[in-house]
Amino acid sequence: MSQNTVVVGVDGSEHSLVAARWAATEAQRRDAALRVVLVYEYAWPGAQFTSPAFIESQARELADTLVATAVAQARTAAPGIKISGSSVRGRPSEKLIEESEHAALLVVGSRGHGGFVNLLSGSTSMQVATHAHGPVAIVRGHAAAIEGPVVVGVDGSPSSLHALEAALDAAAKRSADVIAIRAYEVPMVWSGYGIGPEYVDPDTIANELHQNLNEEVAIWQDKYPDVPVKTVVARGSAADVLIGVSKSAQLVVVGTRGHGGFAGLLLGSVGQQLMHHCESPVLIVRS
Of the three residues 139, 173, 203, the one that is the final residue of a domain is 139
Question: Cβ atoms within 10 A of the Cβ of 158, count?
Answer: 11
CB 117 within 8 A of CB 39: yes
Burial class, 57, CB count within 10 angstroms (exposed 0-12 / middle 13-18 / buried 19+): exposed
66 and 91 belong to one structural domain: yes
3 state DSSP class of 40: strand
Question: What's the whole-model pTM score?
Answer: 0.86
What is the predicted pLDDT for the residue at 122? 42
218 and 112 belong to one structural domain: no
In a domain, 13, yes or no: yes
154 and 107 belong to one structural domain: no
Q: Report the domain count for the chain.
A: 2
CB 145 within 8 A of CB 26: no
Counting other chains too, the contacts that 268-275 makes at CB distance below 8 Å and 24 or more residues apart are 269/239, 270/237, 270/238, 270/239, 271/126, 271/129, 271/130, 272/126, 273/239, 273/243, 274/239, 274/242, 274/243, 275/110, 275/125, 275/126, 275/129, 275/138, 275/140
CB 176 within 8 A of CB 150: yes
CA dist 28 and 78 (Å) reads 6
119 and 184 belong to one structural domain: no
- For residue range 116-145, what is the model confidence (pLDDT) as tens digits? 444 444 466 778 888 899 999 999 999 999
CB 167 within 8 A of CB 152: yes
Give the largest Cα separation in the chain, rounded.
76
160 and 248 belong to one structural domain: yes
280 φ/ψ angles, rounded to the nearest 5 degrees: -145, 170
In a domain, 145, yes or no: no
251 and 172 belong to one structural domain: yes
250 and 176 belong to one structural domain: yes
15 and 123 belong to one structural domain: yes
What is the predicted pLDDT for the residue at 2? 61
What is the predicted pLDDT for the residue at 78? 97
The CATH number assigned to the domain holding 261 equals: 3.40.50.12370
- For residue range 188-203, what is the model confidence (pLDDT) as tens digits? 656 555 555 556 677 8
What is the predicted pLDDT for the residue at 194? 56
133 and 249 belong to one structural domain: no
The secondary structure element, H or E, covering residue 251 is strand 251-255
The CATH number assigned to the domain holding 84 equals: 3.40.50.620
What is the predicted pLDDT for the residue at 123? 62
Of the three residues 95, 112, 139, the one that is the final residue of a domain is 139
86 and 202 belong to one structural domain: no
Range of the domain at 23: 5-139
132 and 242 belong to one structural domain: no
Which whole-number Å values give the CA distances from 5 to 29, 84, 103, 107, 224, in the listed order? 12, 10, 5, 11, 23
CB 283 within 8 A of CB 252: yes
The backbone region for 9, taken as left when phi is positive above 0, alpha when psi lies in -120 to 50, beta otherwise, is: beta
Ranges of the chain whose pLDDT falls below 70: 1-2, 42-54, 111-124, 187-200, 257-271, 287
What is the predicted pLDDT for the residue at 229? 97
Of the three residues 139, 173, 197, the one that is the final residue of a domain is 139
